[in-house]
Amino acid sequence: MFNDIKRQMMAVVLSMFFALSTVLCIYSYIFLKNTKALLIDSYSHSISVFAESINKDVLRIENNSEDLALMGSLFYKAGQDKTIAKSAITKIFENYENSLGGGIWFEPYVVDKNQKRFCIYAYRNDQNKVVLDENFNSEEYNYHNQSWYRQIISAITKEHNTAWSLPYKENQGSEKLMITAGTGIYSDDGKLIGISTVDWEVNNIFLEISKMKPTENSFALFADKNRDYILVSNDPYLNNRNLIGKSLSNVPWYRDNLKQVTYYKYHNKKFIPYVKNLDNGMFLIINVPKMELFRNALIHVTILSIILMLISTLIAYLLHYILKKYIIRPIDKLMLIADKISKGEDVHITIAKPEEFAELASTFDKMTYDIKSITKERERINSELSIAKSIQASSLPSVFPPFPDKKEFDIFASMQPAKEVGGDFYDFCFIDDENFMFLIADVSGKGVPAALFMMTCKTLMNNMSQIKYSPKELIEAVNRKICSTNKQGLFVTMFVGIVNINTGKVTYINCGHNQPLIKTKDSEYKYMDLDSNIVLGAFEDAEFKVYESQLNAGDTIFTYTDGITEALNKENEMYGEERLKDCLNKFHDNDINNIAKAVREDIHNYTENVPQSDDLTMLIFKYNNKTVKKIFKDMAIKENYKSFYTWLHNNCQEWGLNDVLVNKLDMCCEELYANITFYSYPPKVGMIEVLMCKSDKQIILQFEDEGVPYNPLEKQDPDITLPPEQRELGGLGIFMVKEMADDIKYQHVGNRNVLTIIFNNEDN
């Protein structure tokens, strides 16, 4: 359908037209939606302000009533001076312009035992002047039986001392429709002795509420929800006069949940209800026709949409004209030339107009030459990358087992490289006869720079590990060296383990690398809980925290790079740490070569032949040593030597050591225990820990304390050829230990002195 350029250009023009139309529709929808929201919020704010003014009127009426109640209480308690009371009531009403009238009303025989009723009533006359009306204070007017009085006095409590009556028409005075707010008057002993009242004319309320008419056909309802009666309604579809004082159930559209609804239908129109609650339980509802509220906004959006649609049509037409004249025709010619170039023909191109296509024709000429050069260059680069990948792979240990004569451990590692030259690497070597180091690392970045940086880091770790550094000193020295030569700003994550293959003591250092997993003899694989240090190559003065642990026979450590856990399947989901742990725990073969193979197969099944984006590198270390170990740990005080002596001889007896070796152990251990007891913790007391190991050929004792750093091997041996009185004091005990032991070593690791003595055990 779109095989020729003309139809394609037409498709482009139509697509742009439809795109512009779609954008226009979306814009119009969003504009209209936002405008509606603004209108709703604007009217809600205006109605809230109006409702607050009504609320203030209600509060003024109630305040007026409370002031009158206070006046009534003072009148009753302070001598019942009627002249003062009448004057005060008049003054109070003059301060409340919205009050129609009211006064104070007492229960039978409260004011005068000979007079059943007593009240003082004032009202506003037609000249808006407050005057007293004595007609209410007569035997003919029985206010006790009036509905407003009974309603108010029955509703008043000490907790709610102000109440409202239902709407009523007062025939005695103003003969106007009104509602009355009343407040209780109490004696000193808390007895209700009367009420004060303030009248509010319903017609005034109606006139006030009728002012709030947001649109032509808006209408309002003012009612008391708690007492279920209507005060004011100006609903054009109802007889509003008859509704005054009636239940809310007489309003067909009213529902209790109006505040939660967006709109309701009434007489085939949609109305938006604005519900505002007053403080005294009354509420005001302003109902606005939805179409009237949004009419102007709809008109504006419609006009704007028509204008923008016309502009979009004009743009589409002009675009089609320009494309046809200045693009389609030159492209037809270039397509013919491009076809010849693709076939390898030498073509000379000449196009005069337009200038851009003239330049493009010149570029096509140059392109025919560059394509041939680029092809040759790409072949050369691919060849060099292949050689770099081969060199990188050959630099990693690949013969397993690497130390066939070492039965104390097994180690296996592999790297399955991605297409690019990466920065993953692993390595392992003996630091000395006892300590074996293994590591796995991942350099940031890809390509040749990462590969070169990897080779630098690997060489540094291998070479500097041969210097007599502690593990912490080693990693910090390597970091300083990397930082001093790291001009490309690369960094490397690395996990290092250093294992004493005789004792199983291992030191871990995690430099921002993935947490390894460990499996002990009787448990499943679980992630090691190690705080991660900063990556190598970030800061020259960075300090690194090391962790020490004890490996037992059969313990296996699985390390890996993030290419394992971040391998992706077809849904672009990562393999993940939990799946790796589950894979290791499902596989029960203890052969570490088979463990690595099982992980690779599980990743292959998960990714379903998705191209590999990163190297898949792993290193597995398994500790096999059958050395028997015993540990003694107690406070370094002379009183505990007896328990240490018993522990030592029990081990010797259990292992069947000959008497000569036992005597050597006894003398050496007594000397070292005494030195730690008397000199390591002055003036405090600390711990001593002794590890005793038996292998096929050796007995190893390792003394550790956290006392004053001291290397006894640095002390010069005493000259035993001199008479005792001419020798310097001290040093004879450690000299004796040196002479008896087959080997002796000292290290200061962390805050600990570690002294190791080794005895050959070939006779047992």
| pLDDT tens readout for residues 287-342 | 889 888 778 777 877 888 788 778 878 887 777 677 766 676 666 666 666 666 66
User: Exposed, middle or buried, 381 (CB in 10 Å: 0-12/13-18/19+)?
Assistant: exposed
Inter-CA distances, 505 with 284, 414, 518, 547, Å: 81, 25, 15, 11
Q: Which SS3 state, helix, strand or coil, does residue 632 take?
A: strand
| pLDDT tens readout for residues 408-436 | 899 999 988 876 666 789 999 999 888 99
Domain co-membership, 282 together with 424: no
Inter-CA distances, 460 with 131, 183, 483, Å: 108, 93, 12
Residue 632 CB coordination number (10 Å) = 20
At 569, which amino acid appears? Answer: N
CATH code at 66?
3.30.450.20
Domain co-membership, 354 together with 430: no
The total number of residues written for the chain in this structure: 764
CATH code at 675?
3.30.565.10
Do residues 509 and 496 lie in contact, with contact meaning Cβ atoms separated by under 8 Å?
yes
668 is a domain residue = yes
| pLDDT tens readout for residues 261-293 | 788 899 898 898 888 888 877 888 888 898 887
Alpha helices in 124-191 (DSSP H): 147-155
| Of the residues 249, 282, 306, the one at which a domain ends | 306
Domain co-membership, 642 together with 563: no
8 is a domain residue = no
Domain co-membership, 45 together with 175: yes
Cα 411 to Cα 551: distance, rounded to the nearest angstrom: 15
Inter-CA distances, 106 with 78, 153, 162, 192, 735, Å: 15, 11, 16, 9, 116
Cα 25 to Cα 538: distance, rounded to the nearest angstrom: 53
Domain co-membership, 160 together with 174: yes
Domain co-membership, 600 together with 461: yes
Domain co-membership, 479 together with 582: yes
Task: Find the mean pLDDT for residues 108-131.
Answer: 85
312 is a domain residue = no
Q: Which residues pair with 84 in a beta bridge?
A: none
| pLDDT tens readout for residues 597-613 | 999 999 999 998 888 87
Residue 99 belongs to domain spanning: 38-306
| pLDDT tens readout for residues 557-592 | 999 999 999 999 988 999 999 999 999 998 877 789
CATH code at 422?
3.60.40.10
Structure tokens at 184: 């209780």
**What angle do the packed helices 471-485 and 447-464 form, to 10 degrees?**
140
Alpha helices in 486-591 (DSSP H): 562-565, 577-586
User: In total, how many domains does the chain have?
Assistant: 4
Domain co-membership, 357 together with 255: no
14 is a domain residue = no
Domain co-membership, 574 together with 713: no
Looking up tokens 């960094």 gives: 491
Cα 741 to Cα 243: distance, rounded to the nearest angstrom: 114
324 is a domain residue = no
Mean pLDDT of all residues belonging to the chain:
83
Residue 268 CB coordination number (10 Å) = 5
7 is a domain residue = no
The beta strands (E) that lie in 512-662 are given as 517-519, 526-527, 547-550, 556-560, 616-623, 628-635
Distant-in-sequence, close-in-space partners of 42: CB < 8 Å, separation ≥ 6: none
Domain co-membership, 546 together with 442: yes
Distant-in-sequence, close-in-space partners of 250: CB < 8 Å, separation ≥ 6: 230, 243
Cα 715 to Cα 675: distance, rounded to the nearest angstrom: 14
Domain co-membership, 595 together with 659: no
**289 upstream amide cis, omega within 30 of 0:** no
151 is a domain residue = yes
Do residues 332 and 6 lie in contact, with contact meaning Cβ atoms separated by under 8 Å?
no
Q: For residues 500-535, b (16+ Cβ closer than 10 Å) or e, as one string?
A: bbbbbbbbbbbbbbbbbbbbeeeeebeebebeebeb
2 is a domain residue = no
Cα 101 to Cα 174: distance, rounded to the nearest angstrom: 9
| pLDDT tens readout for residues 185-203 | 998 888 999 999 998 887 7
| Of the residues 623, 657, 672, the one at which a domain ends | 623
Domain co-membership, 299 together with 236: yes
| Of the residues 574, 605, 623, the one at which a domain ends | 623
Percentage of the residues of the chain whose pLDDT score is greater than 70: 86
Question: In the prediction, which pLDDT does 392 show?
Answer: 67
